[in-house]
Amino acid sequence: MTYFNQRASFEAVRSLASGSIAASYANVGSVTTHPARIVLLQNMTDAGVMISFDGGVTDNIPLAANTSTVLDLSSDAVGRSIMQLAANTQIAVKRLSGAPTTGSFYVSVVYANN
């Protein structure tokens, strides 16, 4: 596989409104369709959240209110070894403390396409 021929493609954005973010995990849209090279997590709510990458089984990444983070999984590729988030990954969120009252949580996925 030649990496110079690949282009960035985007899955449809996934979102979860603040009213659906509770003390228990809620899925943010459907599972990922493609292996993700870059994942943008945007917490545009007024409360901190915990993010899970296995559908709510494991607490993985906390994210403060009104912040975002980029997971650039393939930026440090070595040779033909590239880290990616697996296809069929279910991303879920729950509140950390107080319930969010405004905004939404968003997930954007970038994958390589020939």
Task: Give a yes or no: residue 10 inside a domain.
Answer: no
DSSP string, the chain: --GGG-EEEEPPPEEEEGGG--SS-EE-SS--SS-BSEEEEEE-SSS-EEEESSSSSS--EEE-TTEEEEEETTTT-BTTB---BPTTPPPEEEESSSPP-S-EEEEEEEEEE-
Assigned domain for 106 exists: yes
Task: Look at the chain and report how many structural domains it folds into.
Answer: 1
Within-domain flag for 72: yes
Which residue range is the domain that position 78 belongs to?
16-113
In a domain, 3, yes or no: no
- Give domain status of residue 39, yes or no: yes
pLDDT values of the chain reduced to their tens digit, one per residue, 114 residues: 455 678 999 999 999 999 999 999 999 999 999 999 999 999 999 999 999 999 999 999 999 999 999 999 988 766 677 889 999 999 999 999 899 999 999 999 999 987
- Any domain includes 66: yes
In a domain, 56, yes or no: yes
**11 within a domain of the structure (yes/no):** no
